[in-house]
A = this chain, B = another copy of it.
Amino acid sequence: MSSIFEGFLSTLEVQEAFGDRRFVAAMLRFEAALARAQAATGLIPEGAAKSIIGSCKVELFDVPKLVRESGRAGSIAVPLVRSLKEAVGLFNPGAVVHTHFGCISQDVVDTAMALVTREALALIATDLDHAIRALLGLAERHAATPMLARTLMQPASITSFGLKCAGWVAPLVRSRQRMLVAAERALQLQLGGAVGTLAEMGEHGPRVASLMAEELGLRAPLGHWQTQRDEWVALGCELGLLVGSLGKIARDMALMAQFEVAELAEAYEAGRGGSSAMPHKRNPVGAMVALAAAQRAPQRVAALLQAMPQEHERALAHWQVELAEWPQLVMSAHGSVRAVAQVAGGMQVDPARMAANLEAVRASLPAEAVTVWFAPDLAAHAARLAVTQIAAARADWAKATDNVASALHQRGSPQQAGSGR
């Protein structure tokens, strides 16, 4: 998924999470879980299940060939299932008919997408925690550092840099919380069969679904979600919201890093943010990545919402649209949160310059305006607010990450999400 045109707007890790190999491996996890569950319920023979499970190893497959064939087939599932059946047939011809039994392409693709998305969300959660930690640290260190408050891009009054940081961090903590809820709902097994009724599995459908969900660490929905995508798209919306909140931070940072303002700078890192032509430049490339995501994600969310009115029991094009847009949204989101985490972690703050900018405004205004809007005690006031808000954010963050831990514990899938604080 690394592209010459946008690789630098994302991260290697999340590109790998949605890489061809990992996706094929996730599809094979589905097929193995299916066989195991169907054997357990007696739908297919134990021996067949063993053969199928034994073949569900990504190293047995020619992934680039599958990708090439998917172009013509119109789906990655079609060549994968064909290859899997061939592999199964080599050793146990009788098991071929039991492979991918009662399923449809969308079942395996949607479930695989949930599995790789879970990994991507864990990456996002980890970097989000890094960003929160760094910003809370800045907020604490600079709770009482006075600076200009600016509205409509003009100086307005006084705030403190710590209060500004507290304002940045609060929506990140809320995103941490809401994303968890949304992910709990969205990361579901897909198992509907040809038209959503699991008809071929007779009465065993629900039991198969429940066993598979258990094994894969996904939620088992009542029924399927082949054309009812609200919980999935709701997770997409959460990613859009996160990217928006990160974009606000990046925009503020880019403005504060302007030469004439100079209140902040991104940490210098060799080979990054330089200009080949102009060695004197130091570009805020972290902010750039987050701002790019903030421009792109809204359009991705719009595409997902637009694709919701899916026709009948499986739509013509809507699902394919969603499939194409989804990884890009998640990859943008990780690019953004990683960039903000790095910038926040290394941010160079210049309180003297903040004070100087403030003084310059004071000097430019009539005394009465200064008395009202730039009085020194306004900074102390902001500092007290900052302390309250930092404490609240810390408490909410602790709760959010505790919830993750307990949610994961119940699920027995410790790999599901990022580390705690």
Contacts and interface: CB of A to CB of B under 8 A. Distances in A.
Given A4-B24, A230-B244, A301-B305, 13 more contacts: A8-B320, A9-B320, A153-B257, A154-B257, A157-B197, A228-B245, A237-B240, A251-B309, A255-B312, A260-B260, A296-B303, A297-B305, A299-B302
Given A277-B194, A278-B156, A247 B309 contact: yes
A213 interface: no
A241 B234 contact: yes
Closest 10 CB pairs of A and B: A244-B308, A247-B309, A149-B195, A151-B314, A6-B324, A291-B317, A298-B305, A237-B237, A302-B302, A280-B369
A71 B334 CA distance: 14
A248 B308 contact: yes
A152 B5 contact: no
A61 to B, nearest CB: 12
Given A159-B197, A287-B316, A385 B4 contact: no
Nearest to A102: B277
A252 B301 contact: no
A378 B146 CA distance: 39
Contact of A316 (B152, B166, B365): B152
Contact of A321 (B178, B230, B295): B295
Interface string A373-406: 1000010011001001100100000000000000
A152 to B, nearest CB: 4
A174 interface: yes
Contacts of A315: 152
Given A273-B74, A288-B74, A153 B316 contact: yes
11 contacts: A3-B327, A4-B23, A105-B276, A151-B283, A158-B199, A159-B313, A223-B385, A241-B308, A243-B305, A287-B316, A298-B305
Given A197-B378, A298-B305, A71 B255 contact: no
A128 to B, nearest CB: 13
A60 interface: no
Interface string A148-186: 111111111111000100110011001100100000000
A252 to B, nearest CB: 6
B316 A296 contact: no
Given A259-B154, A259-B155, A297-B305, A197 B382 contact: yes
A234 to B, nearest CB: 6
A333 to B, nearest CB: 12
Contacts of A317: 287-289, 291-292, 295
Interface stretch (A32-40, A76-84, A130-138): A76-84
Nearest to A250: B309
Contact of A237 (B77, B82, B229, B241): B241
A230 B295 contact: no
Given A8-B70, A240-B237, A254 B316 contact: yes
Contacts of A20: 4
A248 B228 contact: yes
A156 B74 CA distance: 18
Contact of A312 (B12, B231, B252): B252
Contact of A306 (B152, B196, B306, B310): B306
A90 interface: no
Contacts of A250: 309
Given A230-B175, A261-B258, A271-B72, A156 B194 contact: yes
